[in-house]
Amino acid sequence: MTQLNDATRTQNRAADPAASTWVTANAGSGKTRVLTDRVARLLLRGVRPEQILCLTYTKAAAAEMQNRLFAGLGAWAMMEDAALRKALAQLGEGADLPTEQLNAARRLFAAALEAPGGLKIQTIHAFCAAILRQFPLEAGVSPGFRELDDRRSTELRLDLLNQMTVDAAQVTRALAVETGGSDPEDLLKAIEGMRTALSAPFDETRLRAHLGLGSNETLEGVLNTTILPDDMEMLTGLIPVLEASTKKTDWATAETFAHIAGLEDRQTQIAALEKLLLTGATAASPYSAKIRALPTKAIWEAHDPAVMDHLEKLMLRVEAARPKRLALATVERARILHDFASRFLAAFEARKSAEGVLDFTDLIEKTRTLMADPAVAQWVLYRLDGRIRHILVDEAQDTAPPQWDVIRAIADAFFDGTHMQDSPRTLFVVGDEKQSIYSFQGAAPQAFNDMRDHFDTALDQAGSALNRVGLAYSFRSAAPILRVVDEMLGAAPGRAGLDPARSEDWRHRAFHETLPGRVELWPYVTKPEKPEQPKWYEPVDADSPEDPNLIIAQQTAAQIKELIGTPLVTTEGTRPVTPGDILILVRKRTKLFHPLLRNLKALDLPVAGADVLMLTDELAVKDILSLMRFAVTEQDDLSLAEALRSPLFGLSEDDLFRLAYPRGDRLLWAQLRDHSQHHEVIAALHRVRAAAFDRPYEMIDLILTGLEGRKKLIARLGPEAEDAIDELTAQAIAYERSEAPTITGFLHWLTAGEISVKREQDRARDEIRVMTVHGAKGLEAPIVILPECGKNSRDGEDKRKILLLDKDIPIWTPRASDSPEAVLADKSAQKQRNIEESERLLYVAMTRAENWLIVRGGGEEEKPPQSPEDVAKTSWHSKIAQAMRAAGAVEEGGRLVLQSPDWGVATLPEPAVEDRTEAAVTLPDWAHDPAPPSPAAAATVTPTELSEGLSHALPGEPDQDALARGTAIHRLLEVLPGLPDRAQAARSLGLTEYLEEVARVLDAPALGWVWGEALTELPFVLPLEGRDVVGMMDRVLIAPDSIHIVDFKSNRVVPRQPEEVPDGLILQLALYHLAAQRIWPDRACRATLLWTHDASATEIPHSILCAALSRAGIS
C-alpha cells in the first residue's frame, strides 16, 4: 500500500475533483502540480476535456501547465498495471483500481489530444477573446477583430494627439500648458488605463465636496478676499524700510515685495505671496504664516505697528486661502484633464473600431459588459454553461477586479442551485496574497480574500461548501531560508498586505528538512557624502569608484567566481556548483543591472545576458541597421563605418582609420572601392546596395544568410544575440503586413519607439541568470543573490499620473506642494500600499532560493527605526537583517549568517578514474609525410588599377567633380529602371541634380534594349597568373545563347567610333569581357559602352578587346 506524507495528502485534498476548493499556496508548495493533478483527476472521472476551463496569468504558465499535464497523461498511457496503480494512488485515487479504470486512464492522453479545440488552458485575455469571437454581435465588436499590440497602440495614441491639435486645439493647448512640454506618452497611457472613469461625465459636485469646497466657491472669490486693494500699497511702502535695513534678508524681501507688487496676474501674485510669506513643506508647521519672522525681528519691533498689523493680517489671509486655492486649482486641472481625455478616448475607440482591433483592456471590459448586459447575459451564460463545467484559476492573487467580474459571472451561474444536483460544477482557485506584486496591472491582494468570501457565500446558498486548503510545505527552499522568511513576515502582521483576521496560516514548513541551507547578509555599502570626482580625462558622467553599485557588482562577481566548482548538496546528492545554479535578482534594470553583467563577463563567467532586451539597443541589431542605412544612403559615412567595424565585416580600428583618414572630402564608400585588399567586403556591400529597393525582410535575410551575418554576429556577441536577431526579423514581417514595405520606412518605424523582447532564461543552458524579481516569478535556483537591497529615497514613491479620489473621481496628480489635504491623504495611503507591495516583492525574491540566499545592499545611509512605522519604511537589507537576528543568525567574517548545522561539511565525490590506455595504432605511410605548404594567396587588383597610366577620357574632358558625378549617375542607373516615380527615388537618394541626364538615357528609344531583365552591379573575380582581378560589371543581359555586357560611362566628351575610345576604358571592358567568357564559356559574348552624356552606345568589336588585353600582357 502506498504511504503518503502530510504534504502529499494536503495536495491531494486540494486536487479533489468533486469539491470546490480555495487554495492558499505558499511559495514552492507545488501549486502547479496540484492544478495539473486536479485536471487529470477530472478527466479520470469522465469529465470531457472541453468542459474544463483553466485560467492562468501568463502564456508561459499556460504552456508549462499543458506540458506537465500531457507529460503525465503520456506516461500513464505507457505504464504497466502495477506502476499505473501506484501513480494513481499517489494522486489519491485509491490503491486497488480495477483494470477498466486503468485502461480509461491510458486513453486520456489520446482523448485530451483529440478534444475539440484542445484543452482550455489559457490566459484570461485569451479566454475573453474567444468569447467575443463567439458572440461578436452581442458584444458589439467586429467578428474578425485583431488584438492590438503595444507598439501599434502607441502609434495610434500619438497620431490622435497630433490630430487633436487641429480638431480640438483649445483643449489640447490647455493640456500642453499643464504638462509643461513633457513627453505626453505616459499621460496618454494613464488616460487609457483610466478609460472607464474618464469616459463618464465630469462630476464636479462630488469632487468639490471631496476637497471641502462649496459649490459656489471660485478662484476669483478667493483672490478677492485674500488680496485687498491696499495690500500692494502696504508692501510697496515697506520697501524703503527694508532697503534701509542692515540685514541681507530684508534686502531680498524688499526685492520680492517690489516684484510681487508689479505682477498683473493675481494668480501668479498669490502664489508668489505664499512662497514668501508662508513656511515651507519641511518646516515644523508647514505652510504657516511667518509672523515676526519676515521681515526681521528688528523691523517688526521698530516699524509702525499699524503697518505690521496689516502685514500680519495679509499673511494670515494667504495662509487661510492656500487650501482653497489648491483645491480650486485641482478642480480646474481635473476639468482640463477630463475635457481632453473624453475627446481623446472617444477618438481612440473610434479609430480602434475602424481598424477592427481591440486592446487587452478591451478584451476584459467588453466581456465584462457582455456578461452584465441583461438583454443577452443569460443567453451567453447559458451557452457557456453548456460547455464549461469546471473552472480552475491559477495565480489568483494577480487577478484584477475586472477579470474577477468575468470569472464571477460564469461561476455564479454554476451555483444558482439549478445545476448542482444533476451535473456537478466546481470552482478551483489557487493563489497566495503574499505574492501579489502586479498592482500596476490592477491586481490587489485584498481582492483574493474578498472573492473567497463571495464564493464561500454563493456555495453555501447553493447547498454546497467551499473547501479551504492551505499548502504550507515548501518543496523548494531549505529550512534556514524559510525561518528568515517567516520572521520577516511575522515582524509586523498585516504589514505586507496580509490581513491576519482573514489570511490562512502563512508560516512555512520545509519538506526537505535535512537539506542544508544558508542565508548570508553582507555588510551595507554606504554611499559617500561627497564621491570622488572623476579624472579630467574621464567622461563627466563616469561612475565614481566609490559608487555602491560598482562595489556590489564587483563583490558579487568575485564571490560567484569562487563559488563555481564548490560542493553543493541538493535533494539528488552532492555535486559541484555550476553557473546555471546561480540566479541574481534585481528590483529594476537600472544602475546595478549592467555593472553586474560587465563584471561577470570580465571574469569570463558564462552569463545569460539581460532577461529583457531593448531591441534597438542590442549590438547585433545596431550593426544590421547600420548596414541597411548605408544600403539606402551611400553618403552615410557613419553607418558604413559602423558596419565595417561590426562582426559583419570585421575591419579593425586601424583598418578603418587607414581607410577613412586620408579620404578628404570623398565618400567613405568611394574610398573603400579603391582599396582592392577589401575586395570581399566591397563585393558584399555591392550585394546589399543592390537590394536597397527590396522588402525589409529580404534585405535582412540577405545580410543574415547570404552574407553569413547571423553566424558572424553570434560568434562575436554570443548566443544571446540570437534572440534580438530573431525579433528583428519578426518586426520586419510585422511591418510588411501593415505598411508599404520600404527599407527607409522600416528603419524609421523601427527606431520611432522602444521594442522590448522578453528572453526565456533557460537553466539548462548552464549560464548565470540576471533578471528582475518580477521576471523571476515562478523560477527557482539553488543559489539566489539579491544584490539590490539598499535604501532608496524614492522607495514607495507614487508615480501615478492620474489619481482616483473617492474610488472613481479622476484628477491630475499634483505635486506634493500643490496637493490639497484630501489628495495628500490619498497619496499617503498609496505610498503605504507601495511599501507593502515592496515587502511582497521581497518575499517573492527570497523564496526563489533552494539552498543558499545571499543578500547585499548599498546606497543612502539608513537611520535606526524608531517605531513600527519606521521599520516598514526601511530597506530590504534592514528587514532581512532584523529577521535573521530574530532567527538566531550569528556574525561570521563580517557577515551575518544563518545556516544549517551541517552546512559546509559536504565534499565532492572522488571522480571515477578513467582507463585511458589506448590500443596501439599502426599509421599508414602517408601519415608520416609532412603536409605540403599552403599555396600563397593570390594578390588582388581592380580593372582601374590595371589600367593606370592609360587614358580614360578624350582631350577636353573636364575633371572637376568627375568621380562624384560618375558615382551618382551609376547609382541612379542601378536603381531607377522600372520605378514609376523616378523623382521620389532620386530625392530619397539625394541625387536629383543628375536625374535629367539619367532620365534621357532611360527614355532613349535606341537604348530600350538595355533595360530588359538583367543582372546589375555583378561582382566577379577573374583569376590571372599570380593575381586575381576583382571588379563589378554595371549591367549584364543574359540570353539563352549570348551574354551582353553594358558598362556605363559619364564622360562628357564622347568618342564617335570604337577606335577613338580611350585605351583605359577599352582595357577595363576587355577584362569584363574575359571574365564573362570564363563564367559563360558556351555563350557568345558582346561588350558595349553606354555614354550617359548623349544617351548613345558604342559596341566594341572583339578584335579591339583582344588587342587591349595583348598590350597589357594578358592572354
List, as residue ranges, the binding site for ATP.
25-32
Give the span between the Cα atoms of 78 and 106, in whole angstroms. 7
Strand (E) or helix (H) holding 1022: strand 1015-1024
Residue type, 587: R
Parallel, antiparallel, or unpaired for β 52-56 and 20-25? unpaired
Q: How far is CA 585 from CA 609, 774, 775, 844, in A?
A: 13, 9, 9, 10
Longest pairwise C-alpha distance within the chain: 122
Beta bridge partners of 20: 466
List the grid coordinates of 80: 504497466
Residue type, 916: R
Q: How far is CA 943 from CA 421, 1029, 1074, in A?
A: 92, 7, 12
List the grid coordinates of 324: 482653497
Residue type, 965: R
Phi-psi region of 904 (alpha: psi -120 to 50; beta: other; left: phi over 0): left
φ, ψ of residue 267 to 5 degrees: the values are -65, -45
Coil, helix or strand at residue 696: helix
Give the span between the Cα atoms of 1071 and 1077, in whole angstroms. 10
Beta bridge partners of 471: 25
962-975 and 982-989 are packed helices; what angle lies between their axes, rounded to 10 degrees?
130
Strand (E) or helix (H) holding 520: strand 518-521
Decide: 433 and 397 in contact? Cβ < 8 Å.
yes
CB-side neighbour CA atoms (13 Å) of 108: 31
Give the span between the Cα atoms of 1093 and 954, in whole angstroms. 14
Tell whether the torsion through CA atoms of 635, 638, 641 and 645 is positive or negative: negative
Coil, helix or strand at residue 585: strand
Closest C-alpha among 187, 519, 530 to residue 345: 187
Decide: 188 and 287 in contact? Cβ < 8 Å.
no
Q: How far is CA 513 from CA 158, 483, 570, 837, 909, in A?
A: 57, 12, 12, 30, 23
List the grid coordinates of 664: 578628404
φ, ψ of residue 23 to 5 degrees: the values are -110, 125
Tell whether the torsion through CA atoms of 283, 289, 291 and 293 is positive or negative: positive
Give the span between the Cα atoms of 436 and 398, in whole angstroms. 6
Decide: 848 and 784 in contact? Cβ < 8 Å.
yes
Binding site, by residue number, is 25-32
Spell out the residues 6+ positions from residue 186 whose beta carbon is closer than 8 angstroms to its own: 801
